[in-house]
Structure 1
Amino acid sequence: MQIEKKFYNEKHRPYYICAPGYTRTSNGVRAMHLLCHYLNKLGEEAYVFSPETNPKLRTPYLTPDIVERHKTTKLSPIVVYPEVVHGNPLNASAVVRYILNHPGLLGGPKDYPSSDMLVFWHQDYVDFAKYSDPSYVFIPSIDTGVFNNDDNHHDADRHLTLVYPGRYKHAEREFPELFKDSTVITYDWPQSHEELAALLRQGKVVYTFANSAIISEALLCGCPVVIKETVYSKKPEERAGVALGLALPGVTFEDTPEAIAAAHAKTLEYQQVYHQYQLDLLNQLEIFIDRSQKLPQSAMNEVVCPSFHAAAAPSAEEASYDAWIARHALKPAAAQLHAERMVHSWGGQPHFIILMPVTSDRWPDAIKSINALKQQLYKHWQLIFVADFDEPSAVFQYSDVLGWLRIDNVRDANQLTQAYAAVLGALPSDWIGILPVGAELEPQALLSLGDHAALYPEWQAIYSDSDVIAADGKRSQPSFKPDFNLDLLRGFDYVGPGVWLRNEALQDVGAFAEAPGADGYDALLRVHDRYGAAVIGHISDMLLHLPAPCCGCMIVMARRSSATSQTCCCICRRRRSPPRRLRWSARWRPTCRARGSTPASSRARFQARAASATRRRRVPSFPSWRRMQGTVPILPLASRRCWQA
């Protein structure tokens, strides 16, 4: 495509394109990089954030020196986000949203601030009730030098039936007949565009389940396309109708020989349509530049680029922990042993449910948790989000592993407790855990939990060691926990978030009822009261990584007990005062079992003494008698081993 324009626009503001690293398999990523490329060819100044670029494109990497130069010259940049980005993480005063798919379909927000400029890839993605005068930039991202049907000696004898599942993971389950005698194209195969084009030139039909670049690639190679109706290939229900972006020459929604033959006859027509797309692009880019340059700008360039801050040299403690992580990383032999025990020693395959409360502003952290769970070696799990907003993607309506529970206010601890109780009684499961949003599990975490549950069938609750993971993936603050220690647990919740409890035990002890805001802590103590200490197991392995902003409210509050009040760092974000201690005498300490008393009798006597003390003086109420802290000192977490070793 030949573009002619003056090369320098010194008064124009630069463009920062928030694009991931270049990949050939994603049409959206290619579109973001091509936008940067064409803006530069038009004489604008545009950069991408990722150093992973295509050397054939003019997509310079944004460096700290460039940002400082723009600040010095008082040039306020225009930041371009794809539709999947929540909020304005770079703090830009001028924001452009490039809508490359239906808003909210792939996990991004459904609505955007009125101050943002919206640019749509195609009119299918426009809700005209909200946006009456939309702008379009349709960038033809297919290399016609590779994808074409020129001199194709297979054209008269096409024999391959091709299937491309793409992002639709249930394709083979819902359309098994398509996969029986077909060649399946994946993200990883074929490995190059040239190999894919050679395959498409032999294809008599391509089946796909979403709007993706392979549609254009197939049509340019003379191969007709059949689109199966899925959540990714139809418009949202509130804007139902024909998806014009898929109503292309050579495309059919009918899987019949007649329809496929008719589509094949129109593939040549699509090549002419694609050429017109290339001609229209220049005018669309001119309009885009004119409108975006008029966006408001602040007096100073206040764009925040976190990746530009040079990483400080790790301390000796951090370096030591990094070395410990490397030494204790999962080895293939250990994973194989887990797998062999699962096959030969487990009595069955337990089902794990993870409950995760989330607010709309923490959804990017939730995506990190989802991505970590997708890496699990053990696949029998389900992640249930508890939120006070609608699911951000239609994927939740069709997924087997992702669930969504809507409540009125996710910051209301009572509502959260009721939601947990509802899941406990409604969904079949073997183990349930409550994790904070942004928490990540090691790939072998659930496999290890299942392995230990099979080795120790008497265990009703299991917890592991944990550390803190930063936004950049850096791990720190390891918490090597001791085996179950009741006195230490009564001092403070050293187990923290991430305790796994057997479903039957939770129902037996009546958990998720009386301790809003401390559901896991309460449930663990209830299990101990009913079954004893022997049923609470500890896995001495670093299986859980907690998000840096939230390391467990109970622990944070205990360690900051000197403050008069503090803000809960977790989902509830309520103002709280540190719990006052209610001391009891040595004879009323819960050690009565050693003197022949039962836990029930000691509990009853303790409640009587606590009630008497309450009548004599005002004492802060707790969810139950177990949360009243005694003379057990709050100590640092005890460890059976030292990670420096």
Structure 2
Amino acid sequence: MAKFLIFTPSYNEKSGGVVVLHKLCHILNELGHESYLFPYAYTYEINRFNFFKNMCNFVKWSVYNSLRPFKSNVHFDTPVFNGSINNLDDFVVVYPEVVFGNPLGAKNVVRWLLHQPGFHEKRFYFSSGELIFKFNSAIKDFNFPGSCTSPNELKVIHYPLEHYNLSNISKKRSGYAYCIRKGKGKSFVKDHSKDILIDNLSHQQVAKVFKEVEFFVSYDTYTAYSIFATLCGCKSIVIGDAGVDKKEWYPLDSDRYGIAYGFDDMAWLENTNELVKEHILNEEKKCKDRVKNFAEESIEYFRL
């Protein structure tokens, strides 16, 4: 058994990346490993052109984070690390791809690509010797000099099925819901002035919307809300990114079950809709096996 430290923001049910970081810690503990959360700290590249700007950002976020409590999911086994960061040689530290460098100065670093490197921050900075894991087939093949990219995906999922289901659905659906999220800047494909924007709503509120409207349009190509809508019987449509075709979006057919890639892909949605629930339940079952393999590969790679 090994020790793991997961570098993550405070729990936020609206952020899929944060949810799976906490879930990874939980599953590792379920498997008998010693795993902790480490509160996320914003990391910056400092140079002579941005010194004052990023120093102000550092102070702002340091004060902000010190004033709010770090949250975790009460249903997860995710203790917060309270040891010394000067003694992490026997830990595997897991950073999501948005973390700039190695802020904890860890000896054994796993970089978990939850999105394309550079998508959020417009730059990335990793280091040699890291073990890199892609989240799923949507992440493009990636290699970094001196590091090793695992051939195995580390796909950890958590679907709040207590909200997203076919209970209490409307007998007569009408209208649209939509989300922007990471699709900010895209041109709208229709007039949304009378539609419901789900961004920043709670799961309970979103589920209620999905059970009443007929269509859900997502400008964020990789949000789990597209699947959540399908689970509620809503027709889920993703508006693709420019120049990215359906197979590039998700190479695996199973990752696209029940979701139309544009309004001209409705036949695929209709033909695969009933496969979604079974696929999700199977993916939930596979989570532990994926995390088990991840832990074993990390132990072997870092010779722990």
TM-score normalised by the shorter chain: which range applies?
0.7 to 0.9
Matched, 1:243 2:232: no
Task: Give the CA deviation at 1:109.
Answer: 4.6
Which amino acid in 2 is paired with 1:145? E
Pair 1:288-2:294 in alignment: yes
Q: How does 1:109-188 map to 2 (within 5 A)?
A: 109=123, 112-127=126-141, 133-149=150-166, 151-154=167-170, 156-171=171-186, 174-175=187-188, 177-187=190-200
CA distance in 1 between partners of 2:233 and 2:132 (Å): 34
Partner SS, residue 112 of structure 2: strand
> In the TM superposition, what is the alpha-carbon distance from 1:77 to its structure 2 partner?
0.9
Distance 1:196 1:98 in 2: 28
Aligned-residue offset at 1:224: 2.1
Sequence identity (%): 23
Which has the higher relative contact order, 1 or 2, with Cα contacts under 8 A spaced 6 or more apart? Answer: 2
* 2:218 paired with 1:208: yes
Given that 1:205 and 1:260 are in contact with CA atoms closer than 8 Å, whether structure 2 keeps it comes out as no
> Which residue of 100, 104, 111 corresponds with 1:90?
104
- AA in 2 matched with 1:284: R
- Measured in 2, the distance between the counterparts of 1:249 and 1:38 equals 26
Q: Is the 8 A contact 1:222 1:268 kept in 2?
A: no
Alpha-carbon deviation of 1:111? 6.9
Cα gap change, 1:176 to 1:123, in 2 (>3 Å): closer
Cα distance, 1:216–1:245 mapped onto 2, change above 3 Å: farther
Aligned position for 1:80:
94
Paired residue for 2:76, among 44, 50, 57? 57
2-structure distance, mates of 1:245, 1:29: 24
Residue among 7, 10, 16 paired with 1:18 = 7
- Count of residue pairs brought into register by the alignment: 268
| Cα pair 2:132 2:150 within 8 Å, conserved | no
Say if 2:32 is the partner of 1:43: yes
Change (3 A) 1:28 1:132: closer
Cα distance in 1 for residues equivalent to 2:183 and 2:173: 26
In structure 2, do the counterparts of structure 1 residues 222 and 41 end up closer, same or farther at CA, with 3 Å as the change threshold? Answer: same
The 1:270–1:27 alpha-carbon spacing in structure 2 relative to 1, beyond 3 Å, is: same
> What secondary structure sits across from 1:87 in the alignment?
coil
Shift of 1:136: 1.2
The residue that corresponds to 1:630 in the other structure is none
AA partner of residue 181 (structure 2): G
Q: 1:194 to 1:82 in 2, by over 3 A?
A: same
For residues 238-317 of structure 1, what are the structure 2 equivalents within 5 Å?
241-244=248-251, 248-256=256-264, 259-260=265-266, 263-264=269-270, 266-296=272-302
Q: Letter of the 1:63 partner, please give it.
A: N
- For 2:137 and 2:256, how far apart are their aligned partners in 1? 14
Evaluate the alpha carbon distance shift between residue 178 and residue 271 of structure 1 in structure 2; reply closer, same or farther with a 3 A threshold: farther
Cα distance in 1 for residues equivalent to 2:158 and 2:122 = 22
Q: 1:76 to 1:106 in 2, by over 3 A?
A: same
For residues 102-155 of structure 1, the C-alpha deviation after alignment (integer angstroms, 9 at most, x for no partner) is 111111655743411111111221416777752211112211122112x3442x
Structure 1 Cα separation of the partners of residues 126 and 151 of structure 2: 14
State the TM-score, normalizing by the size of structure 1.
0.39
Q: Determine the C-alpha separation between the residues in 2 that align with 1:128 and 1:164.
A: 28
1:53 deviates by 1.0
Q: CA deviation at 1:261?
A: 6.6
Go from structure 1 to structure 2 and tell me whether the alpha carbon gap of 1:132 and 1:168 turns closer, same or farther (over 3 Å shift): closer
Partner-residue secondary structure (3-state), 2:178: strand
Stretches of structure 2 that go unaligned for 5 or more consecutive residues are 40-69
- Where does 1:375-386 land on structure 2 (aligned, <5 Å)? none
Distance change (3 Å), C-alpha of 1:186 and 1:241: closer
Counterpart residue type for residue 186 of structure 1 = D
Q: Is the 8 A contact 1:223 1:264 kept in 2?
A: no
Distance 1:193 1:101 in 2: 22
Contact in 1 for aligned 2:175/2:215 (Cα 8 Å): yes
Tell me which amino acid in the other structure corresponds to 1:59: T
Conserved 8 A contact 1:84-1:108: no
The aligned runs of 1:566-605 (5 Å cut-off) are none
Amino acid at match of 1:91: G
> How far apart in 2 are the matches of 1:157 and 1:265?
22
- Tell me which amino acid in the other structure corresponds to 1:45: E
- Residues 129 and 53 of structure 1: CA distance in aligned 2, closer, same or farther (over 3 Å): closer
Offset of residue 40 of structure 1: 0.7
Match of 1:29 among 8, 13, 18: 18
- In structure 2, C-alpha distance between the alignment counterparts of 1:121 and 1:271, rounded to whole Å: 20
Q: Deviations over 1:45-70 (max 9, x none)?
A: 11111332111211111113xx48x9
Aligned-partner Cα distance in 2 for 1:60–1:133: 27
In 1: Cα distance, 2:189 partner to 2:142 partner: 38
